[in-house]
Homo-oligomer: A and B are copies of this chain.
Amino acid sequence: MRMSQKEKDRSHARIVASAARLFRERGLEGASVGEVMCDAGLTHGGFYKHFESKGALVETAIEEAFQGFVQMLADGDAQKSYAAYRALYLSEDHLKHPEIGCPIATLGQEVSRRPESLRAVFGAGVQRLVGAIARSMGGTVHARRKAAIRELSMMVGAMVIARASDDETASEVLSACRRSARHA
């Protein structure tokens, strides 16, 4: 039966939220259209009233994931130190909860093999994240941007390595990266 426009908007938001979570948990190919719709409390057939294809959902879900993650990092203090970002990013909590964590560390490699349009969306998300981290740094605009990129790269790499390895290697990598190279 037909739903009201307001109801449709709510369904749409639930689909995107479920996708943003399930894609990060299981991968773009690991979460099916049917599973996303079921998680959103709907049946699979209605999906194409909301998106042209699974690929279109992926784009929207990745934008949502970046927005949510940047907001989560910035939450609380208006101006966090980069040490605070690093502690959050490299925490056991983030290690164990990819579904609400950094989209780069969960989806980057699958995105690499997808069309340019998705990589553009992903790149925009990366820029937003770099901007958020750069705001916590000192130095000239140019220098803090470079520092933020290096900082983010190290955090992403550490999390990818930790999640893909045995527990012992994982905690060695996380703890080695928790302290800045400058203080090594």
Residues of B within 8 A of A152 (CB): 157, 161
| Cβ B109 vs Cβ A163 within 8 A | yes
Question: When the two chains form the complex, which single residue of B109, B146, B172 contacts A108, counting CB atoms closer than 8 Å?
Answer: B109
A103 smallest CB distance to B (angstroms): 9
Q: How many copies does the complex hold?
A: 2
A1-9, A10-18, A47-55, A122-130 - interface stretch = A122-130
A53 smallest CB distance to B (angstroms): 18
A58 smallest CB distance to B (angstroms): 12
State the 10 A-B residue pairs at the shortest beta-carbon distance, nearest first.
Answer: A157-B157, A156-B157, A123-B165, A153-B157, A123-B166, A123-B169, A112-B163, A153-B158, A149-B176, A111-B164
